[in-house]
Amino acid sequence: QSVLTQPPSVSAAPGQKITIPCSGSTSDIGNNYVSWYQHLPGTAPKLLIYDNDKRPSGIPDRFSGSKSGTSATLGITGLQTGDEAVYYCGTWHSSLRAEVFGGGTKLTVL
């Protein structure tokens, strides 16, 4: 059971837009910044979004992040087959004093 809650899967057609929600509490998302990671099978996870809505160098602007209260959202526009991966949200949990993740959302581009 992950501390942060994500839907297990989402799907959409190429070129479409999707959003992946991540729900937490005042002990984590509500009072700390959120990051998002893309994980392709057999590879290392890649940082997509940090500090709620910032993109590291090299991450296309098709990827976006937002936060409101105790929830955060990852958005992906112009879906490509190469975007098929598992996406994780993460943040610091102030009470546990540990980094926590969502359970991951598998994106299928039909």
Q: Is 87 in the site for other proteins (CB under 8 A)?
A: no
Instruction: Give residues 20-79 in contact with other proteins (rule: CB under 8 A).
Output: 31-33, 35, 37, 39, 43-47, 50-51, 56
Closest C-alpha to 34, from 87, 108, 109, 106: 87
Nearer to other proteins, 16 or 68 (CB): 68
Torsional sign, CA 79, 80, 82, 84: positive
Instruction: Please answer whether residues 105 and 20 qualify as being in contact, where contact means their C-beta atoms are separated by less than 8 angstroms.
Output: yes
Q: Which is nearer to other proteins, 18 or 102 (CB)?
A: 102
Site for other proteins, rule CB under 8 A: 2, 31-33, 35, 37, 39, 43-47, 50-51, 56, 86, 88, 90-92, 94, 96-104
